[in-house]
Amino acid sequence: MPLYVRETRQITGAKGSLVFVKSLPKVAYGELVEIDVEGETRLGQVVDISQEITVVQVFGSSLGITPGRTVVRLRGETLKIPVSTDMLGRIFNGLGKPIDGGPEILPEDYLDIHGDPLNPALRMPPSEFIETGISVIDGMLTLVRGQKLPIFSGSGLPHNKIAMQIVRQASVKGSGESFAVVFGAVGVTFEEAMYFINELKGMGAIDRTVAFLAPASAPPVEKLALPRVALTTAEYLAWRQDMHVLAILTDMTNYCESLKEISAAREEVPGRRGYPGYMYTDLATMYERAGRVEGKKGSVTIMPILTMPDDDITHPIPDLTGYITEGQIVLSRDLWRKGIYPPVDVFLSLSRMMKEGIGPGKTREDHHQVFSQLMSAYAEGQRLREIIAIVGVESLSEKDKKYLEFADEFELKFINQGETERRSIEETLDLAWDLLAILPEEELKIRDEYVKKYHPKYRVSR
Amino acid sequence: MPSRTGRIHRIAGPLVVATDIPSPMMYEVVYVGEEGLIGEVISVRGEKAYIQVYEETTGLTVGERVEATGELLSAELGPGLISTIYDGLQRPEVEIARAVNDIFIKRGVRVNSLNRSTKWVFAADQRVRVGDKVEPGDVIGLVQETPIVTHKIMVPPGVSGTLKWRAGDGEYRVDDVVAVVETGDRKYEVKLYHRWPVRIPRPYKEKLPPSEPLITGIRVIDLMFPIAKGGKAAVPGGFGTGKTVLLQSLAKWSYADIAIFVGCGERGNEMADALKSFLELHDVRRNRPMMERSIFIANTSNMPVAARETSVLLGVTLAEYFRDMGYDVLLVADSTSRWAEAMREISGRMEEMPGEEGFPAYLASRLAEFYERAGRVVALGRPERRGSVTIFGAVSPPGGDFSEPVVRNTLRYVQALYALDYDLATRRHFPAVNWLMSYSLYVDYVKEYLDERSAGRWHETRNVFVKILQREAELLDIVRLVGPEALPEEDKLTLEVARMIREGFLQQYAYDPNDAFSPLEKGFLIMEAIRRFHEVALSLIRSNVPLFKIRELKSPYMVYKLKLYAPHEVEKVYNDYVQTLEVEVKKLTGG
Ligand SMILES: Nc1ncnc2c1ncn2[C@@H]1O[C@H](COP(=O)(O)OP(=O)(O)OP(=O)(O)O)[C@@H](O)[C@H]1O
Ligand SMILES: Nc1ncnc2c1ncn2[C@@H]1O[C@H](COP(=O)(O)OP(=O)(O)OP(=O)(O)O)[C@@H](O)[C@H]1O
Ligand SMILES: [Mg+2]
Ligand SMILES: [Mg+2]
């Protein structure tokens, strides 16, 4: 027990989720606070301290807080969560409390949810290919361990299905190492939350999954805490338990909205479109927790999912995310309308770590060149689609028509894939060759030796 | 000096207000709280000192002590800088890891910037002798810091007098005294290192106008929008447009003697990627690992925001120090926007009057001060040395919109703009430098240098290319309305040649081992090849050969492929092309 006073009723004001309290001696910046309101205990955090006044951010609303009656108590520590491998298979709220009816976990440690920055000098460049079994991702947007690669989606697009397909199918080629999924859902509807839980149960993956759910109705601060709680767990499993962790966080747009709400309550000068100026840093401190580190067996891979307001990629939420993550998988409403699943726009999408993760020994020797060829041929097809919209298909040469055919087939056969269909990287690359065979052979800017080896015309049936 | 301490009065994120410090000084370093977190006084109002704290402030309490040092935030300058990875406070990150024995950066760690136990081989420079009068910048000795960097031990700025004593050749640690300079009755001990405040530009004798290009190996820079040694350039672009790849390529390949990479508020993984390739790749000119001439400052986006400012200032201070030795130094800062955002955050906490988009009114002057530290100079001291600092700053405008304050203010102070374009990047045209928006005011300064090396052809050809590309943009507007076939033959040819310039010359894949670095000679040959095709095709068209016939030729394809050959193979392929073109044209004209 501390010797000095750790609680007070001297509240001098309240506004939004902020409570102004007379400063107690030794109040620490960032420490956790308990507020007793009408028999219920709410949590809060110290966000500004001066000699006289301490500003407390309440996790929840300040409803019912009354100067003189409400008790504010300092906890003397920052927000920490208990962690242990027992968390696998369990479901928690945004503050790390079990919500699946099961018992509290037996903690192996308590960790500060804000974590510490990884030492840049100890990082290893991510380079191990994760096979998702989804052609457009494995072939065109390769994901590697330790990468942070978001899905930029729009309302009504099948991002959740894609995420679940990845969780179900993701594996690292040629390794039977221990793998865990940390799943965090921020501000999702009850239906969505149940979809995830049922999917995870259904695929038998629940035992290697830790799920965190903060429904839409949860207080903003719980939504702000959730991704940090989830990533703290991910780090624990990766760095202390040697696991390869894939952390999926959805829907980060809800997180950003909560951030905006709280910033407004604090009357901060708003940045672009009302989002706080520090949103970049705030998101970065979470996403930078992804990585691979010297001397550690585990890894943290992060896949945030967000819905772009109005499908606008220049909106601050996708924009700032794109400035932090190592690429993005962008979903296209046009492709979705055409009935293509997963409707990935390969032009707007990018995996920046791809070049490290593909090639001989990782995927296949021809992957680099096949990728470039698919990209440029699809782009050419796309360009021709625009031209025929003006001048009609008649004015095109035979060669051009082949490119158009290629673009159509590429969408229908390569991008398009069943929700439960799993294609190995070899299947994906062979499929790519089948489609490239539509084009005249002299159009292929691929090394002869690969053409001879993989082009269907020469390929001995394997 | 009596210790000057005060107390914490207020804590708001990275901003701490202290009272009771006896006469606080602007920009002096203070140690905040029991853990001694490093901070800097950035404003004094009445008896309150506003402190920007460079480490995480969680857990600080009001009333904790604040110790003022009376010293400005300074860098340690001496042997051991090269190949080191520093944080924004010049702490070697590998040492931090050793000190905390963890994979994470913890706060309150104090480690020396320069290792105190490493021994360096010092050799006296006999051009200066004991008994001589010495001035700041005079080289008194040399240390071979890496196989390719000779570190010059100079009389520090502000010190002059008689060289009283100098250590004999041998091994010394950085804080061993290697010389004594006597001024009147005062003695100054020269060590292998000295300290210099990062906010103050290091002095030099004279600034020189730009004259030589800094060869970067990137064609769109060297041959379209050249950069001069001592130049300053901005690289703005939305996310994923290629700023980091471009800056890394520059740091890797350019003909600088020293390359300093400042990762300011950006990604850890790409830093790791850069470090790895700097160890693996070899410098073109000297065939040594690039790391042997490089310094990294890695203050990633999840590290304390306030230290973004110090990381940029530290970088430029180190650059000036090597410039003073007579080296051509390249400094790349990725990204200056993150520094600007840090200024905005601190300014907001200080409740200063916000300017545009919340940035403080002094944003412009801070940017100006930074870019002004670039330049080519005659350094202080003997023997006479010329050195330069060339700065490339990445800018990350929200939404890729160049009208925002950081881009706009930066453009007031730089002389070259490499505008990275989202559309080009989406089409995988890399480097995605938009040729219509970008410019270099160094063209006229480096014209002579480049023309001398290209038989007088460079400047003229460049202008032809610029015209063709501009014309292409106009023609494409028309094509969008009527389709390409409606154009007259000559215009169709313009489109054809423009495409050749874009794909065969401007595009340069950073990961292609044959093309990652393109020497001037290779670029000149590609330029000649395109120009030759243009001239030949134009005369064919004028003698009524239809363009589709020209399109059937093989030789144009050879132009596209030129860049894929290693520098030493290009000339042969170029000659093949010239011959093939000649033969094909003869056939076509029935000659
Ligand atoms: N010169 C190049 N050659 C080949 N690929 C390139 C080149 N420049 C960029 N790219 C591609 O574009 C991707 C994004 O580039 P980069 O990381 O440099 O963008 P950026 O502008 O720094 O983005 P951010 O602002 O988000 O940091 C790279 O991962 C690479 O795939
Ligand atoms: N797209 C471009 N390509 C090549 N050079 C350019 C381009 N745009 C500008 N420049 C060069 O840069 C110079 C300065 O450009 P800037 O836009 O600052 O001119 P300004 O605003 O008219 O001049 P002032 O600085 O007097 O306001 C121009 O004189 C021109 O030579
Ligand atoms: Mg970048
Ligand atoms: Mg102007």
Distance from CA of B232 to the nearest CA of A (A): 24
Do the chains contact at B85 and A121, CB–CB below 8 Å? Answer: yes
User: Distance between CA atoms of B554 and B478, rounded to whole angstroms?
Assistant: 29
Atom 28 in ligand 1: residue holding the nearest Cα: A352
Name the one residue in this structure whose structure tokens are 């002299």: A442
Secondary structure of B194-239 in HEC code, one letter for each residue: EEEECCCCCCCCEEECCCCECCCCCHHHHHHCCCECCCEEEEECCC
The reply to whether A324 touches chain B by the CB within 8 Å rule is: yes
Atom of ligand 1 nearest to the CA of B242: 18
Q: Which residues of B touch A356 (CB under 8 A)?
A: 273
pLDDT means per 10 residues, chain B with 591 residues, are 85 91 93 93 92 90 94 96 96 95 92 96 95 96 96 96 96 97 93 97 96 96 98 97 96 96 95 93 89 96 92 98 98 96 89 88 96 98 96 96 96 97 92 97 96 96 97 92 85 95 95 92 97 96 92 90 92 95 90 60
CB B476 within 8 A of CB B502: no
Nearest partner of B295 among B80, B589, B453, judged by Cα: B80
Mutational pocket test of ligand 1: of B216, B220, B244, the residue with most ligand atoms within 8 Å of the beta carbon: B244
Nearest to B286 by CA among B318, B319, B259: B259
Percent of chain A with pLDDT over 70: 96
Nearest CA in chain B to A384: B483
Chain A residue whose CA is closest to B56: A116
**A322 lies within 8 A of chain B by CB:** yes
From the list B219, B18, B268, B177, the residue with the least C-alpha distance to A293 is B268
Helix or strand (DSSP H, E) at B548: helix B547-551
Q: Chain A 203-262, CB below 8 Å of chain B: which residues?
A: 239
Is B408's C-beta closer than 6 angstroms to any atom of ligand 2? no
Q: Assess contact for A250 and A160: CB atoms under 8 A.
A: yes
Identify the helix (H) or strand (E) that includes residue B480. helix B458-482
Ligand 1 contact via B430 beta carbon (within 6 Å): yes
Q: Among candidates A177, A171, A122, A157, which has minimal Cα distance to A297?
A: A177
Q: Which three-class secondary structure state does DSSP give residue A281? A: helix
- B-chain residues near A285 (CB < 8 A): 301-302
* B465 C-alpha to ligand 4 centroid (Å): 25
CA distance A195 to chain B (A): 33
Contact B105, A289 (CB under 8 A): no
Enclosing H/E stretch for A328: strand A327-330
Write the DSSP symbol of residue B395.
E
CB-CB neighbors (< 8 A) of A354 in chain B: none
Q: B554 Cβ partners below 8 Å, 6+ apart?
A: B580, B584
Determine the 3-state secondary structure of B317 from DSSP.
Answer: helix
Residues of chain B contacting residue A270, judged by C-beta atoms under 8 Å apart: 358
CB contact under 8 A, A390 and B481: yes
Q: Is B273 in the pocket of ligand 1 (CB under 6 A)?
A: no
Looking at this protein, which amino acid is placed at residue A154?
G
Q: Which residues pair with A213 in a beta bridge?
A: A185
Please report the residues numbered 150 through 169 in chain A whose beta carbons come closer than 8 angstroms to any beta carbon of chain B.
none
DSSP codes joined into one string, B22-73: SS--TTEEEEETTTTEEEEEEEEETTEEEEEESS--TT-BTT-EEEEEEEE-
In short, whether B473's Cβ falls inside 6 Å of ligand 2 is no
Q: Is the CB of B466 under 6 A from ligand 2?
A: no
Q: Which residues of A touch B93 (CB under 8 A)?
A: 119-122
- Closest-CA distance, A271 to chain B, in angstroms, reads 6
DSSP structure class, residue A273? G
Q: What is the dihedral of CA B434, B439, B442, B447, to 10 degrees?
A: 70
Which of B413, B434, B439, B462 to mutate for ligand 2's pocket (most ligand atoms within 8 Å of CB)? B439
- Give the per-residue pLDDT at A390: 77
What pLDDT, on a 0 to 100 scale, did the predictor assign at position A1? 38
Ligand with smallest separation from the Cα of B442: 2
CA distance A234 to A246: 8
B9 touches chain A (CB under 8 A): yes
Query: Which residues of chain A have a pLDDT value below 50?
Result: 1-3
Distance between Cα B241 and ligand 3 center (Å): 8
| Angstrom distance (rounded) from CA A211 to CA B119 | 54
Size of interface A-B (CB pairs under 8 A): 192
Q: Is the CB of B243 under 6 A from ligand 1?
A: yes
- Cβ distance A301 to B387 under 8 Å? no
B408 C-alpha to ligand 4 centroid (Å)? 10
In this complex, the residue of B275, B398, B483 whose CB is nearest that of residue A395 is B483
Minimum-distance CB partner of A288 among B268, B399, B511: B268
| Inter-chain CB proximity A48 and B271 less than 8 Å | no
Both tokens assigned to A77: 């520590």
> Does ligand 2 lie within 6 Å of residue B27's CB atom?
no
**Distance, CA B417 to ligand 1 centroid (Å)?**
17
DSSP line for A107-166: -SEEEETT---B-GGGB-----EEE-S-HIIIIIS-EETT-B--EEE-TTSSHHHHHHHH
Cβ of B485 under 8 Å from any chain A Cβ?
A: yes
Neighbours of A460 (CB within 10 A): 5
The residue contributing the CA closest to ligand 2 atom 18 is B412
Positive or negative torsion for Cα A221, A222, A223, A225: positive
Q: Which residues in chain B touch residue A350, judged by CB atoms under 8 angstroms apart?
A: 240
Dist CA A143 CA A149 (whole Å): 7
pTM: 0.92
Residue nearest to atom 23 of ligand 2 (CA): B412
Q: Determine if the peptide bond prior to A251 is cis (ω within 30°).
A: yes
Alpha helices in A333-393 (DSSP H): 333-337, 354-357, 367-391
Q: Specify the residue with its C-alpha closest to ligand 1, atom 11.
A: B242
B170 to chain A, any CB pair closer than 8 A? The answer is: no
**Which pLDDT does position B5 carry in this prediction?**
94
B358 and A316 within 8 Å at the Cβ level: the answer is: no
Q: Residue B174 half-sphere exposure, CB side, CA atoms within 13 Å?
A: 18
End-to-end CA distance of chain A: 72
| Ligand 2 close to Cβ of residue B361 (< 6 A) | no
Q: Which of A300, A299, A276 is nearest to A287 (CA)?
A: A300
Task: Return left, alpha or beta for B370; rule: phi > 0 is left, psi -120 to 50 is alpha, else beta.
Answer: alpha
A279 and A271 Cβ atoms separated by less than 8 Å: yes
Instruction: Identify the CA nearest to A17 among candidates A42, A39, A41.
Output: A42
Asked if B93 is an interface residue toward chain A (Cβ–Cβ < 8 A), one would say yes
Q: Which pLDDT score is estimated for B355?
A: 87
Instruction: For chain A, positions 361-400, list CB contacts with chain B under 8 A.
Output: 375-376, 379, 387, 390-391, 395
Residue of B nearest to A386 (CA): B480
Who surrounds ion ligand 3 at CB < 5 A?
B 243-244
Q: Is the CB of B439 under 6 A from ligand 2?
A: yes
Among B10, B48, B56, B62, pick the best mutation site for testing chain A contact (most A Cβ within 10 A).
B62
- The enclosing H or E element of A245 equals strand A244-250
Cα separation, B383 vs B403, whole angstroms: 46
Residue B92 CA to residue B462 CA, distance in Å, equals 44
**Which amino acid would we find at residue A234?**
A
Nearest CA among A285, A284, A301 for reference residue A293: A301
Contact B269 A316 (CB under 8 A): no
ipTM: 0.92
Q: Is B517 in the pocket of ligand 1 (CB under 6 A)?
A: no
pLDDT of residue A242: 95
A51 touches chain B (CB under 8 A): yes
Query: Token pair of A447, please?
Result: 């090394």
Residue with tokens 């021709």: A384
Q: Which of residues 230-259 of B touch A (CB under 8 A)?
A: 238-240
